[in-house]
Structure 1
Amino acid sequence: MHQHPQRTIDRARRMLDERVQPAVERRAAALTVSVRRLPGEPEPFELATAGPFEPFTAGSTWGPAWTTAWFHLQGDVPAGWDALVPTTYSVHSAAVVVDLGFDGGPGFQSEGLVYRADGSIVKGVHPRSRYVRLDPGTTTVDLYVEAAANPDIAARAFRPTVLGDGLDADGEPQYRFRRAELVALDDRVDALAVDLDVLIGWAAELAADDPRRSKILRALDRACDVIDPDRIHDCVDAARAELATVLAQPAAASTHRVAAVGHAHIDSAWLWPMRETVRKCTRTFANVLALMDDYPELRFACSQAQQYAWIEEHQPKLFARISDAVAAGRFVPAGGMWVESDTNLPGGEALVRQFVHGKRYFAERFGVEPREVWLPDSFGYSAALPQIAVLAGFRWFLTQKLAWHPTNPFPHHTFWWEGIDGTRLFAHLPPVDTYLAELTPAELNHATQNFRDHAGATTSLVPFGHGDGGGGPTALMMERARRQADLEGAPPIEHLTPTAFFERAEAEYPDAPVWVGELYMEAHRGTYTSQAAMKRGNRRSEHLLREAELWCATATIRTGAEYPYDALDRIWKTVLLHQFHDVLPGSSIAWVHREAREAYEQVGAELEELITTALGTLAGEGDIPIRFNAVPLRVAGIPALGASDAPEAAGQAVTARLDGNRWIVDNGVLRITIAADGTITSLVDTRYDRELVAEGARLNDLVLHHDLPNAFDAWDLDSFYRTTASPLRTVDSLRVAERPDAVLVEVRRVHGASTYHQTITIPAGVDRVEFAIDVDWHEREKLLKAMFGVDVRAEHATAEIQFGHLRRPTHDNTTWDEAKFEVCAHRWVHVGEPGFGVAVANDSTYGHDIRRLPGESGDPLAGRAGTGIGLSLLRAPRYPDPETDQGRHHARYTLVSGAGIDDAVEAGLRLNLPVREIRGTSAPAPLVAVDGDGVVIETVKLAEDRSGDVIVRLYESLGARTTARLSWDFVAVGAEIVDLLERPLATVGEPRFELRPFQILTVRIRVQEVTDD
């Protein structure tokens, strides 16, 4: 055993950092630098370099936040540099080194893109990728660097800053330009540096009693002995010879193996606006292509079709190079989604379109079809995703974020993931616990020791490369991979594509364990609520798209109107882009959310115009009021996807009377008591003679909490927020208005800096109460909830997710149950006992907490446990956007008494798809209809291939097996079942289908071709 292991490690590390690494640069020569500063938005190369440049010297400051500076670098290569140092690599010894003022790690600060004088792109420059290698024989340097002064918001990301709004930057330069020089690089010294780096790393990682460690320590000591700090270049060969023996020892056959996949996780927006993401992608992709020239083994996986589309639009020459690399199998389109979206918040059809648009783009541009879902960084994963993915042609799933669990470590790294309908995906959670690996010994050792499936699997995947504008993989990472490709004590590294890894992993571990249900992330629960306007904009956009496709398809089939393919395609891509996992969840800077709100407004206006035009075409010219109903639930007695003019509760009445200081409202089904403080203290369902309000509880009780998470302000919601509940029961005014069909109770409250207007609507003759709230919100670090304490003893709560629902426990029996103190639901939640339930539907809320209410212990007659349903309405985190949610907000929600799951489904659809009324001549017959309990038509549109065929997507919503019969009222030549990309799966004879619980079914109806005769 080596006597002084840490002394040797420290000695070798100091030799590497202070002596060997600086000696890589053998010579340096000055370059002439000039600059053109752009105070506004970026400009293309041709325009930016045509303007006047002024002299600039290293050491000068540059770059107010979010501005761009173009640096022109010129000079001559000194004679004889080609022969100055021998080279052992397949790279070149002369280079330009650029330091824009880098401080810290890659990404989250200034970045540069290097162009040749002819406008062709060379590569990006970043803190750990500063060198621009010159071709052999180069005698003159003439380069431009487009430098982006992105402020280091990462350093400010956990305290308030205005630099993220893009409006109020302080105008002071952010950076001091350090260096732009011509250097001669000694690649032999660089090789020694990598040898030392790898062996020092393993000396630190291996166990103290491991014989391998002792051999490495001895080799490091001997290498340091032969290195003369004053004559590094003369000692390289001798030092490397001392290390060669331990570097040549092969790995054991039984050791864990690593599939290295080059990667550069680039958030499509986060601490920078989307326009900057375009440039981050350009710099990173250029870096990767340059690196591939030197390292042909590199396989680079890049997801997000949107990012390719940006490059295609803004940098067509670079896109052509990417296309060539894709064709060669080295630059790998992965994932198959339009963006790496959140999967909790987008609706079912939106998740479908993420895959449809992503896969279609990759197929059309590159002729490839990814088979793995690539979502390393999203904040939890819906239990509907396995079925959606398989129907879109995927087999595998990758994530990394579950490694963030602070309480319950996820029990598997390779497993089968089973969704709500029983569909399974083969899944992998890389045990390296990062999607930004650098292939260090510490990372590789952690991946080996951490992997939980050694018994059945031999290989794990390691995504490596700097992300978010950091430039992706580097030469150092590639050299580390070469040293550790077959090295004793290290897991052997092999460069693979995601497909090659998953094929191997699935083949060797077909009996991997099964995880059933959602992949709930025990962190970032605040993203269900932060930036409420984002949530409302997304929900409204999704449902307007649904209406627009339905009514436009109906107008095309009924009247021959032109179907707006291009407009719908563009709008869908806008909505999908804003579902990126740091945009829709509300965790980006203010600039991003400001632009997103503007985008939602534009989307809403365009879709309303499309809908109005289509309905006007269908109704014709006339003055008869026609009600168009897009609620697609046949079992509820609603005409499916057609027109309806039957008013609800015809002939019913509702009464209100003041009884002391409280109002009693009776609508013939419900008898409701509204206290003087504006909350509901009693709700009796007269059909069951049953009180709905739990002991000591209220309905529609606004509650304010302190919201001070320990970390990740906009992301996290910590459970201790519950200990600071403050009900808002002070009333400034309460007004009751009686109408023939409803009673309205309007309540105004002022608390702190905020004003709350609540409306309670009690329609005649129905089993529901409708609520609306308008808030002028000016709180800081607070959470606003609407609470409903119901007298229902529910051990589980049911929440709508995409294409179905999920049951979660309301108790805290285990740490896994306790961790789900805040959960995501879509349009409704439901709690119930056998024979009686309560549903709460919403039009824009996603965050919910559903908890058991204690009742009164000790009284066997009176004590009873109820259930609390909490809707998270607003937050006020201070970073990364210090003005999060400040301003006006509107939300609606509905409580349904005596509700089953079918009633909850109907209530959610009604609230989000209101009936439209337009004047015309006659109501058109529904285009399609379905008979079948609980079968919901999700989508009616025309086919993506623009053939004019009608696509109908439906699903079973109740979690039960059922039979459905689909019918259509137009001439067709046949129908077939298709996948989500509308490719044939089976021919339909009789349009009658047996559906398993939560099954999604897509039917293509072939439209009759019209001939002249």
Structure 2
Amino acid sequence: MYDNTDQVELRIDRFVRDHIVPAIYRRSVPLRIESWDVPGEPVAFREAVRQAYRSVDIDTPWSRPWGTTWFHVSGEVPAGWGSDGTAVELLIDLGFTQGQAGFQAEGLVYRRDGGIVKAIEPLNGYVPVTADLAGVIDLYVEAASNPDVGGSAFYEPTPLGDPATAGTEPIYTLRRMDIAERDVNVWELERDSWTLIGLMRELDPALPRRAEILRALESMCDAVDPDDVAGTAHLGRDALRRVLGAPAYASAHTSIAVGHAHIDSAWLWPTRETIRKCARTFSNVLQLMDDDPDFVFACSSAQQYAWMKEFYPELFERIRARVREGRFVPVGGMWVESDTNMPGGEALVRQFVAGKAFFLREFGVDPKVAWLPDSFGYTAALPQIVKGAGSDSFVTQKLSWNDTNKMPHHSFLWEGIDGSRVFTHFPPSDTYNSDLSAADLARAQRQYAEKGRSNISLALFGFGDGGGGPTREMLAAARRTSDLEGSPRIRLGTPQGFFEEAKATLPDPAIWTGEMYLEFHRGTYTSQARTKQGNRRSEHLLREAELWSATAAARGLLDYPYGALQSLWETVLLLQFHDILPGSSIAWVHQQAESEYSRVAAELAELIAAAQRALAGTGTAELVFNAAPVTADGVVPLGASVAATHRPVRPLQRQDGTLLENGIVQARFDESGLLVSFVDLASRRELVAPGEVASLLQVFRDIPNNWDAWDIDVAYRRNGTDLRAPISVGVAGDVLEVTHAHGASRITQRYWLLEGARELQIETVVDWHEHATLLKLAFPLDLRADQAASEIQFGHVKRPTYVNTSWDHAHFETIAHRWVHVGEPGFGAAIANGSTYGHDITRTMREDGGTTTQVRESLLRAPQFPDPHADQGAHVLRTALAVAPGVLDAAAAGYRLNLPLRTVTGASPQAVSPLVAVSSPGVFVEAVKLAEDRSGDLVVRLYEAQGSRVTTTVEFGVPVSRVRPTDLLERELPHPGWAGEEPVELTLRPFEIVTLRASRA
């Protein structure tokens, strides 16, 4: 007997495609269509229905890029439709590209009274005609003509990401608006066939089960009459019934399937479109819940719920009702699914503070599962933050994208820098947008790393990125694979239920310690420098505004601006979303971000000034306010004093160059303005490696293999140019200025040295007009450092400077916050920055036997996609090169650069005493504020910064009656606390975060 498997499969595919699928809808009639084009930004339903509509036909082009057209559709259901195993639906095709679920036009359907029915998506284009319509169709469709900026090609520069360049011609053509009669039995037959065809192709050809399914599908083709599919579909289903009814293997993997719809809060669309995407997706979800009582949907991002409450209150109340049932499940607990590499420690805490406050206030729900499936790597500080916010589990997916190494676990304990551990799961299907296909399920079963010890995983299903979320087809797939031979078992459930079961089946999980570095998307540490600078500045301004406002309020000098600070924090938290702060969004998104950061800075400056004026009083004395938790030569930390600010020293010009010296350090520049020496005068140690130049500008070709704004590939190192020949060198006042030209760009480095300081200040002013080019600032240092310490949230991580393994090799571009430290015992250097995150740190051996450790900052990029004008124009970037024996010295330099002193004219020479002070130099106060519940209690967040156990005392600058430790959400912990008159003594483990709440006396 010969093997004709290939021919049989071809027959099955064609029979389903050409006969069964076309028979799903028995008949259809067109609707009457009228339209109105919105002249500007989207409008609400109540405004849209008052407009004058014009009659239009199918094949009519509609709407410009980013425009909106409202369609009014009307008609009558023909008599007799909707009986005899059929359902009446509307079928709408706005001009979709059928190959992808999102990245294109979408629509939202309203009843005449303004109630939302569901959405229209490329792969979800039906609207049920419910009994309450009584056969009369009178609906409105809000159609968004969002352009395909990059869903089909993530390489080409495009003008579509900016409304100013996107054009005004219509980009979609209306294809279909019909009343249709769906044959439910034929639809079920198509779902039976889809499930079995997919399963068959995942099975080993040698397995009898595969052959059994093949022959059953062949019998189905024989049983169904292509000329009468509706009349014979039941015979086809009978032919498949036995193979569909065969139970799963006893050892089959189980996947808990949870509905999901990964909606980026901005990306290839602006936030205003995200609001509408949420409404569309959530309306689809609610409609499915009406039809399927077992369906559960998980949704993170309190911001997206808040948008629904503000802009779609009726929809929000429907969501609230399903939340009460436990079927619409808030997860994550964060304001948005933020990046975790670049937000500061307090900002990551506030993601949970703001997010959980919303969920508790609106739903009475405290999500226990942290949820970041798509962020670009995960800081080693996150386990402690997750646990401190009251959560116990964590979900992500992104590390399946690693380009070099495969993560060895799917269910495990993730241990952070302080020792905190959180149970973590990676869905082994390697997607958070599953359609529950046989391919996805088989991949999960095949790849699950804990097999043999555990046999359960999580499956997140639904079209993401504006694709509309879960569909009825996916739910049909879940039902068919709940217990099917050859397939993993699928069970609909909740995230919390999954984690309870997973922890029970894996009582002794493996441990992953430290950061979860994504070996991909390394360019996101640098792309869109202005967005990153706005974030860094906003975080520090928020710190100052809270500190000085709390200090003034605690002393009865002004009212604490609770509402303003909450609103400003929510803006900054939104902009930390994992496609905004990383610089991977369209131009429109980053233009809005920069505008918002400007507004935030202006409003915070007013709050800071008002509080400092209140504290300073009236007078002519100069008070110096310091918000940094470090002492700097007589300046009181977290308070104000009358100490004068340090002045720059005068540069000394010599025949061989320029000298800057303050008795502590000496910086020497050659006649070309290149930094050739930086000496610690006390030890006489030279920091610049022999024969090298520090603060050296380097430009590299930057053409990644895949995703422009996202990626830096290691190959960039092969094509670099040092800028050693400036076009001008000169002294302007107390500053040495060195200007370089490269291509169409001009770069000026400005150097100055303050009296009493151990760091050289470097300001790089760039007028950037390059493309596909990476600008770095290099510091080759005469140090042998096996590891480099890089600041992260509430501490630092140490990474090797050598390359022993593939894991080391993959870390060729890494993240640091305000500082990097490299050193030998007792001596070292810090490179501090004002808004730079990307770094690479390497070491080489010299012919003299010494070691050069090189630290390079990645200052600017110029990616072409998705914003072809990314990073173009003017930038001012701050760096400091400091003598720093240890990490606390590096941290001090980082704080000083990012929290400059403020001088205010005020009353007497009497200083404004600190509101809170700690006795240990290794404990940093990260936040001082008033409590979120507006009780007036003081809240202080501090952490151990060196990585060692330490005991400290905490003192308050105002009378307090009681002090209690709390979690990050300011909820009291089981601890007796301290009476107000006794000192607060704390012993902190390495990198421990402590939050104290003090009631004022």
Structure 1 residue 99 corresponds to structure 2 residue 85: no
Residue aligning to 1:1003: 996
Residue aligning to 1:919: 905
Three-state SS of the structure 1 residue aligned to 2:403 is: coil
Three-state SS of the structure 2 residue aligned to 1:378 is: coil
- The one-letter code matched in structure 2 to 1:837 is G
1:847 equivalent among 798, 823, 838: 838
- The one-letter code matched in structure 2 to 1:697 is E
* 1:137-177 Cα distance to aligned partner (Å, 9 max, x none): 73211111000000011235421111101212221111110
The offset of 1:736, in angstroms, is 2.5
Is contact 2:728–2:738 with CA below 8 Å preserved after alignment?
yes
Three-state SS of the structure 2 residue aligned to 1:596 is: helix
Three-state SS of the structure 2 residue aligned to 1:64 is: coil
Is contact 1:635–1:931 with CA below 8 Å preserved after alignment?
no
Residue aligning to 1:730: 725
Residue aligning to 1:877: 863
Structure 1 residue 110 corresponds to structure 2 residue 96: no
Quote the RMSD (CA, aligned, Å).
1.5
- The one-letter code matched in structure 2 to 1:777 is W
Residue aligning to 2:777: 786
2:654 equivalent among 658, 673, 676: 658
Three-state SS of the structure 1 residue aligned to 2:695 is: strand
1:939 equivalent among 921, 927, 938: 927
Structure 1 residue 667 corresponds to structure 2 residue 653: no
Is contact 2:789–2:796 with CA below 8 Å preserved after alignment?
yes
Is contact 1:632–1:638 with CA below 8 Å preserved after alignment?
no
2:895 equivalent among 909, 933, 943: 909
Where do residues 439-838 of structure 1 align in structure 2 (5 Å cutoff)?
439-633=436-630, 638-647=635-644, 656-660=652-656, 662-737=657-732, 743-838=734-829
- Gap regions ≥5 residues in structure 1: 88-92, 857-861, 1009-1013
For 1:48 and 1:784, how far apart are their aligned partners in 2? Answer: 49
Is contact 1:841–1:908 with CA below 8 Å preserved after alignment?
yes
Residue aligning to 2:886: 900
- The one-letter code matched in structure 2 to 1:779 is E
Is contact 1:376–1:401 with CA below 8 Å preserved after alignment?
yes
Residue aligning to 1:71: 71
Quickly say closer, same or farther: Cα 1:794–1:224, change in 2 above 3 A. Answer: same
For 2:324 and 2:39, how far apart are their aligned partners in 1? Answer: 40
For 2:976 and 2:340, how far apart are their aligned partners in 1? Answer: 32
The offset of 1:747, in angstroms, is 1.1
Where do residues 365-404 of structure 1 align in structure 2 (5 Å cutoff)?
365-404=362-401
Residue aligning to 2:944: 956
The offset of 1:632, in angstroms, is 1.0
* 1:731-773 Cα distance to aligned partner (Å, 9 max, x none): 22211256xxxx5211122221111111111223432211001
For 1:262 and 1:437, how far apart are their aligned partners in 2? Answer: 9
Quickly say closer, same or farther: Cα 1:2–1:900, change in 2 above 3 A. Answer: farther
Is contact 2:821–2:828 with CA below 8 Å preserved after alignment?
yes
For 1:811 and 1:773, how far apart are their aligned partners in 2? Answer: 29
Identify the range of structure 1 (992-1001 vs 969-978) with the bigger mean alpha-carbon deviation. 969-978
Is contact 2:763–2:878 with CA below 8 Å preserved after alignment?
yes
The offset of 1:82, in angstroms, is 3.0
Three-state SS of the structure 1 residue aligned to 2:676 is: strand
1:418 equivalent among 405, 415, 418: 415
Is contact 1:82–1:136 with CA below 8 Å preserved after alignment?
no
- The one-letter code matched in structure 2 to 1:174 is I
Is contact 2:217–2:240 with CA below 8 Å preserved after alignment?
yes
Residue aligning to 1:123: 118
- The one-letter code matched in structure 2 to 1:18 is D
Is contact 1:702–1:787 with CA below 8 Å preserved after alignment?
yes
* 1:553-572 Cα distance to aligned partner (Å, 9 max, x none): 01101134111000000000
**Identity level (%):** 51
The offset of 1:212, in angstroms, is 1.2
Is contact 2:649–2:660 with CA below 8 Å preserved after alignment?
no
- The one-letter code matched in structure 1 to 2:872 is Q
* 1:663-708 Cα distance to aligned partner (Å, 9 max, x none): 2333222232202222211222221122211133211100011100
Three-state SS of the structure 1 residue aligned to 2:391 is: coil
For 2:453 and 2:689, how far apart are their aligned partners in 1? Answer: 51
Is contact 1:634–1:930 with CA below 8 Å preserved after alignment?
no
Is contact 1:635–1:935 with CA below 8 Å preserved after alignment?
no
TM-score using structure 1 length: 0.96
Is contact 2:759–2:893 with CA below 8 Å preserved after alignment?
no
Residue aligning to 1:54: 54
Three-state SS of the structure 1 residue aligned to 2:235 is: helix
Structure 1 residue 267 corresponds to structure 2 residue 264: yes
The offset of 1:370, in angstroms, is 0.5
For 2:298 and 2:589, how far apart are their aligned partners in 1? Answer: 26
Three-state SS of the structure 1 residue aligned to 2:976 is: strand
The offset of 1:283, in angstroms, is 0.3
For 2:266 and 2:727, how far apart are their aligned partners in 1? Answer: 42
For 2:550 and 2:475, how far apart are their aligned partners in 1? Answer: 53
Structure 1 residue 213 corresponds to structure 2 residue 213: no
For 2:971 and 2:262, how far apart are their aligned partners in 1? Answer: 31
For 1:589 and 1:805, how far apart are their aligned partners in 2? Answer: 32
Residue aligning to 1:314: 311
The offset of 1:776, in angstroms, is 0.7
* 1:905-930 Cα distance to aligned partner (Å, 9 max, x none): 10011111111111111432111111
For 1:248 and 1:454, how far apart are their aligned partners in 2? Answer: 26
Is contact 2:527–2:582 with CA below 8 Å preserved after alignment?
yes
Three-state SS of the structure 2 residue aligned to 1:893 is: strand
Is contact 1:2–1:217 with CA below 8 Å preserved after alignment?
no
For 1:709 and 1:517, how far apart are their aligned partners in 2? Answer: 27
For 1:942 and 1:631, how far apart are their aligned partners in 2? Answer: 18
Three-state SS of the structure 2 residue aligned to 1:213 is: helix
- The one-letter code matched in structure 2 to 1:803 is F
Identify the range of structure 1 (552-561 vs 441-450) with the bigger mean alpha-carbon deviation. 552-561
Identify the range of structure 1 (346-355 vs 899-908) with the bigger mean alpha-carbon deviation. 899-908
* 1:956-978 Cα distance to aligned partner (Å, 9 max, x none): 00001100100012121110000
For 1:822 and 1:263, how far apart are their aligned partners in 2? Answer: 32
Is contact 2:826–2:885 with CA below 8 Å preserved after alignment?
no
* 1:560-608 Cα distance to aligned partner (Å, 9 max, x none): 4111000000000000000000000000000000000000000000000
For 2:653 and 2:266, how far apart are their aligned partners in 1? Answer: 54
For 1:446 and 1:605, how far apart are their aligned partners in 2? Answer: 51
Aligned residue pairs, count: 991
The offset of 1:653, in angstroms, is 6.7
Three-state SS of the structure 2 residue aligned to 1:884 is: coil
- Gap regions ≥5 residues in structure 2: none
Is contact 1:655–1:667 with CA below 8 Å preserved after alignment?
no
* 1:769-796 Cα distance to aligned partner (Å, 9 max, x none): 1100111111111000110000001111
Residue aligning to 1:36: 36
TM-score using structure 2 length: 0.97
Residue aligning to 1:362: 359
- The one-letter code matched in structure 1 to 2:879 is Y
Structure 1 residue 988 corresponds to structure 2 residue 981: no
* 1:877-933 Cα distance to aligned partner (Å, 9 max, x none): 001000001010011111111431110010011111111111111432111111013
The offset of 1:188, in angstroms, is 0.3
- The one-letter code matched in structure 1 to 2:355 is G
The offset of 1:4, in angstroms, is 2.9
Is contact 2:624–2:645 with CA below 8 Å preserved after alignment?
no
Three-state SS of the structure 2 residue aligned to 1:153 is: coil
Three-state SS of the structure 2 residue aligned to 1:602 is: helix
The offset of 1:649, in angstroms, is 6.8
Residue aligning to 2:85: 86
Three-state SS of the structure 2 residue aligned to 1:71 is: strand
- The one-letter code matched in structure 1 to 2:144 is A
- The one-letter code matched in structure 2 to 1:847 is G
